[in-house]
């Protein structure tokens, strides 16, 4: 059970939601926007709990804000994701039959029960299935049970096809009684303008860093130093920090973990940030560590290029990093990327044998690798 207090982590969003509830002015459609991992799922669930709670608890200092009690039957079943009035439509991978769609949706609910902050697996292409969206809409035309405020969450709207969005639009235009629709997205500007204009937008922000640090320590057993480091590298996004946490948890694997973290940074961060992370994570006086990291990068490049070319996972060297490799492999679709990266690393490894200044050599390497990674993106743009 998660101990990440989302009402505190997203205090501003919560105050808007809770105030509208207390004033009896709950909107029929909300649009939660902000990057994945900031807690949109938990926020939707907690709001659903408040809407159905038997005894909401007012804030001690700010009575216009309240919280779900967490103990009444509706609160419990909402948080357990098995409340009759709570529905989720989530992006799932390609499937043939409708019951498969239900199984895949249930898998995601199960993951979210365990850790609502965890990012959805995006190694395979997923989208919000139109059939489930239609099904939900049909259900909502029936009357709900007495006293139940139904909450329907369309999670990650950016994964919804336009045809499905049309079906959703009808729902938003004629909202059923006692129903609140919550849409979430990382990119609100991509949604149909009609959807945007009919929803109340709620922006999610980065939670206070210390909350994520405390959470990683209490729930994932990280040391204070590890937790702080991971939180910083995640850019303050708790869901991303959780993913990284798994990589630094044991002392044995920490060197490998550091190597992987930095490798991933090359694809996600600016050159300046990669360099500052390297300075933080690498001991430049330890030539052995530096060589290990570069060798790891070489084998990760081979794995990513192999996966990009064949789609196979069986021949990967870094089996333990299969999900990361699958996630990065699209960046290697252009085979010149792997070639350019590999040759830069090879040159740097040779330089290291010549007693060059290690830090300077690595900084130069990181910047060259960043260029190699960005090159195909520039060409197609
Ligand atoms: Zn309650």
Q: What is the CATH number of the domain that holds 152?
A: 3.40.50.300
Residue 381: CA atoms inside 13 Å, Cβ hemisphere, count?
5
Ligand 1 centroid–CA 26 distance in Å is 18
Domain contains 76: yes
**How much of the chain exceeds pLDDT 90, in percent?**
56
Q: In 3-state terms, what secondary structure has residue 274?
A: helix
Residues 278-305 pLDDT 10s: 888 888 888 888 998 999 999 999 999 9
Ligand 1 centroid–CA 64 distance in Å is 17
Ligand 1 centroid–CA 51 distance in Å is 9
* Residue 137 per-residue DSSP state: H
Q: Which residues contact 177 (CB under 8 A, 6 or more apart)?
A: 143, 144
Cα gap 277→366, rounded to integer Å: 11
Q: Which residues form the domain of 374?
A: 250-380
User: Is the same domain home to 300 and 188?
Assistant: no
Residues 17-29 pLDDT 10s: 999 999 999 999 9
What is the tally of structural domains in the chain? 2
Residue closest to 331 by CA, chosen among 298, 352, 308: 308
What does residue 159 show for φ and ψ, rounded to 5 degrees?
A: -95, 15
User: Is the same domain home to 286 and 152?
Assistant: no
Residue pair 182/152 in contact (Cβ under 8 Å)? The answer is yes
Min mean pLDDT across 69-78, 121-130, 242-251, 345-354 is at 242-251
Beta bridge partners of 183: 31, 154
User: Is the same domain home to 13 and 104?
Assistant: yes
Q: Which pLDDT score, from 0 to 100, does residue 381 have?
A: 45
User: Is the same domain home to 192 and 275?
Assistant: no
User: Is the same domain home to 132 and 264?
Assistant: no
Per DSSP bridges, beta strands 200-203 and 57-58 are: unpaired
User: Is the same domain home to 91 and 185?
Assistant: yes
Ligand 1 centroid–CA 318 distance in Å is 47
Q: Which pLDDT score, from 0 to 100, does residue 378 have?
A: 62
User: Is the same domain home to 164 and 17?
Assistant: yes
User: Is the same domain home to 257 and 316?
Assistant: yes
Ligand 1 centroid–CA 147 distance in Å is 13
User: Is the same domain home to 49 and 135?
Assistant: yes
User: Is the same domain home to 75 and 16?
Assistant: yes
Cα gap 141→150, rounded to integer Å: 12
Ligand 1 centroid–CA 85 distance in Å is 15
Tokens, residue 364: 């130069």
Ligand 1 centroid–CA 23 distance in Å is 18
Tokens, residue 59: 């804030």
Domain contains 58: yes
Domain contains 216: no
Ligand 1 centroid–CA 114 distance in Å is 21
């Amino acid at each position: 059970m998660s101990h990440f207090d989302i009402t505190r982590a997203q205090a501003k969003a919560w105050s808007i939601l809770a105030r509208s509830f207390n004033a009896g002015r709950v909107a029929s459609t909300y649009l939660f926007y902000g990057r994945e991992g900031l807690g949109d799922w938990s926020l939707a669930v907690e709001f659903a709990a408040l809407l159905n709670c038997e005894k909401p608890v007012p804030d001690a200092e700010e009575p216009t804000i309240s919280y779900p009690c967490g103990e009444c039957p509706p609160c419990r079943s909402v948080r357990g994701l098995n409340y009759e009035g709570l529905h989720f439509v989530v992006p799932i991978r390609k499937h043939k039959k409708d019951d498969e769609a239900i199984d895949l949706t249930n898998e995601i609910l199960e993951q979210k029960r365990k850790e609502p902050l965890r990012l959805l697996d995006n190694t395979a292409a997923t989208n919000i299935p139109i059939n489930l969206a239609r099904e939900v809409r049909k259900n909502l035309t029936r009357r709900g049970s007495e006293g139940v405020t139904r909450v329907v969450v369309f999670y990650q709207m950016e994964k919804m096809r336009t045809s499905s969005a049309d079906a959703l639009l009808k729902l938003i235009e004629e909202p059923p009684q006692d129903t609140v629709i919550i849409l979430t997205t990382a990119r609100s500007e991509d949604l149909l303008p009609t959807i945007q204009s009919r929803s109340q937008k709620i922006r999610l922000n980065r939670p206070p860093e210390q909350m994520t640090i405390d959470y990683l320590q209490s729930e994932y057993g990280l040391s204070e130093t590890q937790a702080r480091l991971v939180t910083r590298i995640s850019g303050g996004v708790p869901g991303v920090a959780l993913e990284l946490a798994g990589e630094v948890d044991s002392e044995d694997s920490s060197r490998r973990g550091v190597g992987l973290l930095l490798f991933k940074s090359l694809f996600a961060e600016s050159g300046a940030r990669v360099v500052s992370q390297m300075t933080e994570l690498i001991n430049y006086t330890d030539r052995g560590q530096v060589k290990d990291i570069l060798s790891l990068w070489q084998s990760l490049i081979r794995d990513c290029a192999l996966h990009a070319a064949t789609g196979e996972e069986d021949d990967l060297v870094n089996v333990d990093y299969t999900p990361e490799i699958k996630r990065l492999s699209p960046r290697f679709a252009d085979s010149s990327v792997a070639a350019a990266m590999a040759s830069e690393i090879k040159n740097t490894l040779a330089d290291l044998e010549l007693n060059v200044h290690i830090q300077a050599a690595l900084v130069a390497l990181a910047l060259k690798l960043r260029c190699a990674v960005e090159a195909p993106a520039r060409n197609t743009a």
